[in-house]
Structure 1
Amino acid sequence: MLQLRPGCECCDRDLPADSPDAMICSFECTFCRDCAEHKLHGRCPNCAGELVRRPIRPVATLARHPASHARIHKPAGCA
């Protein structure tokens, strides 16, 4: 199950569980669409994997399986 991390690793922008602007790699590294497209050019700086739109978990399922609260912010790796 995806962790649904709450923020962009580059700019620390909030990315709630229902955000259509959240992008992830296969390791669940999480970035906002702006950073993913303009700074990272569609590649994860951690693993070089493709960044794709993160699926949105249905509200009813979020009650049983909530989004993560763990923030990861590594602006130096996103230059």
Structure 2
Amino acid sequence: MLELRPSCECCDKDLPPDSAQALICSFECTFCQACSDQRLHGTCPNCGGELVRRPIRPARKLEKFPASSQRVVKTAGCPN
């Protein structure tokens, strides 16, 4: 099951579970649309994989299967 991480690893922007601006790679590294487009060019800086739109978990399922609250932020930042 997807973790649905709460923020962008580059800029720490909030990405709630219903965000259409969240992108992930196959390892669930999570980035916002702006960082993906402007800095990462659609490629995960951690694994080199493709960044794709993260699915939205139906609100009625979030109660039983909540999103992660653990923020992951690259301390060295992301490439420009």
Shorter-chain TM-score bucket reads over 0.9
Q: How does 1:1-79 map to 2 (within 5 A)?
A: 1-79=1-79
Conserved? CA contact 1:10–1:74, under 8 Å = yes
- Structure 1: runs of 5 or more not aligned: none
Looking at secondary structure, tell me which structure has more helix per residue: 1
Aligned length: 79
Three-state SS of the structure 2 residue aligned to 1:39 is: helix
Q: TM-score, normalised by structure 1?
A: 0.96
Off by >2 Å, runs of 4+ in structure 1? none
Distance in 2 (CA, whole Å) between partners of 1:22 and 1:3 is 12
- Structure 2: runs of 5 or more not aligned: none
CA RMSD of aligned residues (A): 0.9
